[in-house]
Amino acid sequence: MASTLHLASLKAGLDAVLALGTPKLVFMATGYTPNAGTDSYYSDISGSVAAGTTAVTLASVTTTLDTGNARVELDTANPSLSTITTTTNKYSIYVDTGTASTSPVLATIDIAEGTLSPVSGTLSITVNAEGHYALKAV
Amino acid sequence: MATIESSTSVAPAKQTNAVFPKPAGLALGDLLVLVIFNSLDASSGTATSVATPSGWTSLLALGTTYKTQVLHTIADSGDVGATNFTFPIPDTTSVFSGGKLFRISAGAVISGGFYTGIETTVNTVAGPFVGSLDITSANNILFMSILGTTGSGSTGSTENYTVSGSNPTWTEQYDEIDTSSSPDQQFSIASAPLATGRELTSFQATYSAGSWANSLGALFYVSTPLSATGTNALLSVSPTTFGNTGVEVGGNGVNALHQAQPEFFSQLGKGTSPTIWTNEAKPSTTWTNEQK
């Protein structure tokens, strides 16, 4: 008999965090190294945001039970910024409560293509079909 | 890649307004770039600048007696619906004006970088104008404008447009000589694609005929916004479960003898001996009842 977490509770926990405020995405500087332990709130990472960018309010934020893979997935619409000149290779997802020191950071995710450097152009992410990340039950 | 889609011109003349027909196919969001020359007839005084219309931005205004200006705007619905673009010439009695209005593909931008030079010696070469234009973007269009006034000779054209380093292929967009004024004047504009950004430190052009003095040179560029789209691999987080030791209840267990070690406390003893009383012997008497 295998130990397992239960999907509904994982989803409920994630939904509760998302409900704390407005889910947002921010592109990070290439020199930023995420620390799972200390980078807890937006105030901890705001100094490492990629120059020239602003946070993107995520649309169509959904948490889905994928029972086949025993996991809960977080998905959103594709985020983008226009008329941007910057360099980035990763992005962080956080929930904006209105106060940086209480806005929890959920994940920092590498851009698969590596470093992107738009010049007065559009910076966008085509989100993986499965979503940004998943919490597995087993 | 930014491209010059179309353009219209105004030949040098003394005119109240420089009226440029709308470039063909102008659409919402296109970049409009105006290069306009003003020069005084009689080569004295100050050529008054063309005013920057509302919604336009002045990139550069070079010179005093002779002037080169570059203005630009992003076409809005009013521009798309217009027939002409009219630029009033402040002094029409002694100023010659002329130039070209370019329509550049939507999304193109003028970053603001440029450098200019003024040469006052009589020369068959305009320049070299030495400076620095550091272009960091890709897919650019370089523009060079040359204004020359002459003391002798006034035929021919401007040619051999050159920038430092590897010289791109130039296309002359405008080359007009006005001989009705005094002195004669030559206005020219050329463009070239610059695929990869780099620093330009000098530019020049030559006059095919005659010697021209008071050359004004301007070098600027238009770039194409570079967009970037990335993707993400799904970040999958797996839980860590901790092994727990089970306690079996209800089965036959074996218990280890639990021995408790007693602790004896010192006790203070006290013993007393009672007084032993001895009854005295009591004599025995036989009593006889008296007769009543």
* Three-class SS state of A78: coil
Give the mean pLDDT of chain B: 82
Q: Do A113 and B238 touch (CB under 8 A)?
A: no
Q: Do B230 and A125 touch (CB under 8 A)?
A: yes
pLDDT of B200: 94
Provide the shortest C-alpha distance from residue B146 to chain A (in Å).
29
CB atoms < 10 A from the CB of B6, how many? 14
Q: Which amino acid is at B60?
A: L
Which of A74, A82, A120 to mutate against chain B (most B CBs within 10 Å)? Answer: A120
Q: What average pLDDT does this structure show over B93-100? A: 82
Please name the residues in contact with B167: beta carbons below 8 A apart, sequence gap of 6 or more.
Answer: none
Which region among B109-113, B146-150, B154-158, B246-250 has the lowest average model confidence (pLDDT)?
Answer: B246-250
Name the residue of chain A whose CA is nearest to B110's CA. A120
Provide the shortest C-alpha distance from residue B195 to chain A (in Å).
14
Q: Do A122 and B111 touch (CB under 8 A)?
A: no
ipTM: 0.82
pLDDT of B115: 87
**CA-CA-CA-CA torsion for B23, B25, B28, B32, nearest 10 degrees?**
-20
pLDDT of B263: 35
Higher pLDDT, B279 or A121: A121
pLDDT of B45: 59
Q: Give the C-alpha distances (Å, rounded to integers) separating B278 from A28, B275, B281.
A: 112, 9, 9
Q: Do B236 and A133 touch (CB under 8 A)?
A: yes
Tokens describing residue A113: 């293509």
Contact yes or no for B152/B233 (Cβ under 8 A):
no
Q: Do A118 and B225 touch (CB under 8 A)?
A: yes
| B21-44 tens-digit pLDDT | 999 999 998 999 999 998 776 555
Most confident of A130-134, B107-111, B184-188, B273-277: A130-134
Q: Do B234 and A73 touch (CB under 8 A)?
A: yes
Tokens describing residue A7: 């999907």
Higher pLDDT, B64 or A135: A135
Half-sphere exposure at residue B215, Cβ-oriented, CA atoms within 13 angstroms? 27
* Three-class SS state of B245: coil
Tokens describing residue A119: 């010049």
Provide the shortest C-alpha distance from residue B175 to chain A (in Å).
32
Q: Do B237 and A135 touch (CB under 8 A)?
A: yes
Label residue B89 by pLDDT band (50, 70, 90): confident
Which region among A54-68, A90-104, B33-47 has the lowest average model confidence (pLDDT)?
Answer: B33-47
Q: Do A136 and B237 touch (CB under 8 A)?
A: yes
Q: Element (H or E) spanning B101, and its range? A: strand B95-104
Residue B172: burial class (beta carbons within 10 Å; 0-12, 13-18, 19+): middle
Single out the residue of A4, A121, A104 nearest to residue A45, CA to CA. A104
Interface of B with A in 163-222 (CB under 8 A): none
| B10-22 tens-digit pLDDT | 998 888 899 999 9
**Quick check: A77 pLDDT over 50?**
yes
* Three-class SS state of B212: strand
Alpha-carbon Rg for chain B in angstroms: 52
| A10-54 tens-digit pLDDT | 999 999 999 999 999 999 999 999 999 999 999 999 999 999 999
pLDDT of B163: 96
What are φ and ψ of residue A79, in 5° steps? -85, 150
- Verdict on whether the full-model pTM lies above 0.80: no
Q: Give the C-alpha distances (Å, rounded to integers) separating B186 from A77, A97, B90, B202, B211.
A: 56, 64, 21, 21, 11
pLDDT of B104: 95
Tokens describing residue A63: 């948490």
**Quick check: B272 pLDDT over 50?**
no
Q: Do A126 and B229 touch (CB under 8 A)?
A: yes
Interface of A with B in 8-67 (CB under 8 A): none
Interface of A with B in 62-91 (CB under 8 A): 71, 73, 83, 91
CB of B244 within 8 Å of a chain A CB? The answer is no
CB-nearest to A119 from B225, B236, B237 is B225
pLDDT of B248: 56
Residue where the block lists tokens 């550049």: B104
Residues of chain A with Cβ-Cβ distance to B241 below 8 Å are 3-4
